[in-house]
Chain A
Amino acid sequence: MEEISEEIDIKVKKYLRGEGANLEVLQDKKLKGQLAVREELYGKSAKAAAKAEKWLMPSEGGYLEAEGIEKTWRIRQEAISREVDISSSRNQFDITLPDLGPYTMDFTSSGRYMTFGGRKGHLGIVDMKNMDLIKEIQVRETVRDVVFLHNELFFAAAQKNYPYIYNRDGTELHCLKEHGAVLRLQFLKNHFLLASINKSGQLHYQDVTMGQMVGNHRTGLGRTDVMRVNPFNGVVALGHSLGTVSMWKPTSSAPLLKVLCHRGPISALAFHPNGHLMATAGKEKKIKIWDLRKLDYELQNIPGHANTLDFSQKGLLACGTRSSVQILGDLSGAQNYSRYMNHSMVKGYQIGKVVFRPYEDVLAIGHSMGWSSILIPGSGEPNFDSWVANPFETSKQRREKEVRSLLDKLPPETIMLDPTKIGTVRPAKKKEKPTKQEREAEMEAAIEDAKDIDFKRKTKGRNKPSKRVKKMQETVAKAKRPFLEQNMEEEELLARKKQKTSEVVELPVSLQRFAKKKTLT
């Protein structure tokens, strides 16, 4: 009985989502009473949720335990498929498509549908439950990346010159010319934003509901094809060739954060679904695990190569390199990743991408000869929530879900490093001013954007070089002006304050209106 209550206590902590408010400092008795009632209700609901988790969940998670002197990372896929039931062993397969180039893929959030894209232009959607190929098309162009939009009806493919959006039937719906030649695409689910990074290092954010371009930033750090969105807060992280990881949000042209992670170029990046862990792999054969709340030092440094990284729903990390995949797991719970499983493919198969399938114990591997799928027990979340992601969704449910998620679409301003700050009240009087450095960075970014604008070429002798230069200078000065005005205002305020403070101290309170003011207002 005690063990059960201890277990439930641990779970209750998870459902409480943080500490309760400190009610001792409140002086307003009415408010204190109301908040005390609320806190009690939260406690009750957390307990009810913990009990529901313990007793009412329909499925149990997978596991792999070695017996005796056996080690889990020596266990091979064939051994696993012998022990496991037929329907699960159907999830283990290899699809060989050698002609059409390295394959990359993406799953919908429910894990039921998968879209694949071969480098030589082979695009398609597969229903993974029935192993049914819904549609495949050949676009006869290089395809660098594919990503699903909010459900299985739409997917975007980064083709040679521009990204295109296709329907489930393979009809081309949109050609997104503004993005340019895109290397990587990512979709932010809650905000309905399609983020892309192109060959010249420009980051674009496009709202797929209304079609407007929400953000368009020059990263200034060169060409990169390592891009990942952090599902916890919607921040896009890019890994650069100098070993830095920069994090971006659509509303500012300067990055939120820049971290120097590796000595060499970054080759892969992945985020843990709980939003606290980040795994980066560098070309100097190191994989590092970072805690995003404290980026001073890495949590763990694992020697190894990784061309691609992915975290599963349960926190297992898959590192794919050349032709083998290594799965690391946090077995002790102390954020210490160690070897869990290994899988090596035939030499010659070059692994391009590893993706865990949501809500299943399956890892999909995209390689140069097609794609494969292997079983990783304990990687998927066994119990899904029908209102969040339903692998058994009917079309009616899908339609309703689409409408509801559109109603709950978040504005791009909600993307921030710490999303728990939304809904809290800022201290009213102190206005948070960006520091001087940030302002300078913003100013420079704005100047660069201004310089990018293309002017119309005038004809009939009006296109003199001196005039063009003048116009360019004017736009740059215009972009600079608001920042300079702000600076001037602040200096004025400071000067006034200095004068006031010298006067104010001498006289008592009631006589201060008679204090001599040197500056007449």
Chain B
Amino acid sequence: MKVKVISRSTEEFTRERSQDLQRVFRNFDPNIRTQEKAVEYVRALNAAKLEKIFARPFVGAMDGHIDAVSCMAKNPNHLKGIFSGSMDGDIRLWDIASRRTVCKFPGHQGAVKGVAASTDGRILVSCGTDCIVRLWNVPSSSVMESNDSSDKSVQVPLEEYVWKNAFWAVDHQWDGDRFATAGAGVHIWNHNKFCFNPVILLCSDKVLLWLSHDNMPLIYRSAPEKTFEWGTDTVISVRFNPGQPNVLATSATDRSIVLYDLRMSSEVTKLIMRTRTNSIAWNPMEPINFTAAYHGSLINQANEDCNCYSYDARKLDEAKCVHKDHVSAVMDIDYSPTGREFVTGSYDRTVRIFPYNGGHSREIYHTKRMQRVFCIKFSCDATYVISGSDDANLRLWKAKASEQLGVLLPREQKRHNYHEALKNRYKHLPEVKRIVRHRHLPKPIFKAAALRRTVMEAVRRKEERRKAHSAPGSVTTKPLRKRRIIKVEE
């Protein structure tokens, strides 16, 4: 007969020395594990609860401005710094890690309406209601880091361009020398081209003489390279395309979104909507798509949409996606560098994070002290969100509220990944869904959202009854993606 019995020798299954790791043996056979699904479900429930326990998104506030923060700018090459401009003309460069001002750029008399950083991050462009565009030199990062003490350096503007009308926004090309300002029309400027000429030209009032530091008279191009003027309404926001440096999108007070190409003399496409667009952001990973933040009318908030619409720039007659959830006008919008989500700041005092293709927000941030959010930026490593609001503070939030920051051990990283996978797997079950979905909303927003829901529901019901009572096919409902577009002009 042939016989064999299980025999295990202790040496093979235990460690030799106490400084060795313990030996681990795996057998993936499902028969030795009982009730795996129930255990996994309990773990998913616990993971959802832990996520809520560790959800502490607010990192800190950066205070220093004395009036509302109206605009912000970031440069992708410098992670730690962010520029902010306020309604009293104060522009500051902040160090996000220490939440302190590194550098001040005083000079504007009125509100600063737009700030933009150049491609290499050395030059800052700012424009304001005092009809002046200023260029500043940004101190190098070594200077920034050595500034541990509280003294902030004050900068003098490098250049100033005076114009006839107030400016509303500015944006710099992602990869180039040009920047565009929005005001009465769209002007394209080039900050690198200047000529050294000892002769003072007085041929037109568009040329200014500016003395450089060593008193050499220089003539700078103080005129925009190009001007796009179309219609009589002011242009309120402008954005360059990250992928194609010559394409830019603007929005105007005549409820239109216009796409321009710098190589052409006029606009490419014009899209007229029902409501005004406050801000536009291009998706950095898919530069064909952009998202526009809509203004609702203040009088009838429930009826007007406070949504964001994502478009494909090649096909503007239908929105790709409608992002609903805000209850008041959306003031600013910014994409994450991953291109998978974007953050919006709205007039209803909240900040929401949306997935790029999802209709509803995945996260909402609010504080009692944060008033109307005027500008918002996603940090360049996709970890933080910076919001500038009416209460003169910039606030730093985590993009993922329950994320553990800092260097993680590989074990911790694996556990976080496991918890994410568990929540993803069981997120459709009612108990897990209830916990994951739960967010505390401030009462006014909760009530406003409920009101919107009832009004929308009533409108929908009326529409249905109209359909039911009329001849089949005579009443058609337009899909929401098309409803807000009036017409598209080429």
Contact = CB atoms under 8 A, between A and B. Distances in A.
B140 interface: no
A384 B42 contact: no
A233 B6 CA distance: 28
Contacts of B428: 425
Contacts of A66: 1
Nearest to A386: B24
Interface stretch (A1-9, A55-63, A245-253, A441-449): A55-63
B22 A397 contact: yes
Contact of B26 (A52, A61, A392, A423): A52
Nearest to B28: A49
Given A190-B35, A410-B39, A420-B37, A83 B3 contact: yes
B27 A65 contact: no
Contacts of B42: 408-411, 414
B4 A62 contact: yes
B26 A361 contact: no
Q: Which of B3, B39, B465 has the most CB of A within 10 A?
A: B3
A60 B12 CA distance: 14
Contact of B5 (A15, A377, A409, A422): A377
Contacts of A136: none
Given A57-B27, A383-B25, A422-B38, A388 B32 contact: yes
A260 interface: no
B7 A410 contact: no
A64 B1 contact: yes
Nearest to B24: A386
Interface string B413-437: 0000000000001101100000000
A73 to B, nearest CB: 12
By secondary structure, the A interface counts as loop
Given A84-B3, A411-B42, A425-B428, A14 B29 contact: yes
Interface in A176-218: 189-190
Contact of A407 (B3, B4, B40, B46): B46
A385 B25 contact: yes
B367 to A, nearest CB: 33
B10 interface: yes
Interface string A328-364: 0000000000000000000000000000000111000
B5 A384 contact: no
Given A375-B5, A377-B4, A53 B29 contact: yes
A510 B32 contact: no
A101 interface: no
Nearest to B468: A510
Contacts of A377: 3-5
Contacts of B3: 62-65, 80, 83-84, 377
Interface of B: 1-10, 12-14, 22-35, 37-43, 46, 425-426, 428-429, 465, 468-469
28 contacts: A52-B26, A57-B27, A59-B6, A62-B4, A63-B3, A64-B1, A66-B1, A67-B2, A72-B1, A87-B7, A233-B35, A234-B34, A313-B32, A359-B6, A360-B6, A377-B5, A382-B6, A384-B25, A385-B26, A387-B26, A390-B25, A391-B8, A392-B10, A408-B39, A409-B42, A414-B41, A425-B428, A510-B469
Given A423-B426, A510-B465, 12 more contacts: A15-B28, A52-B26, A64-B2, A67-B2, A80-B3, A84-B5, A87-B7, A91-B5, A190-B34, A386-B23, A419-B38, A423-B40
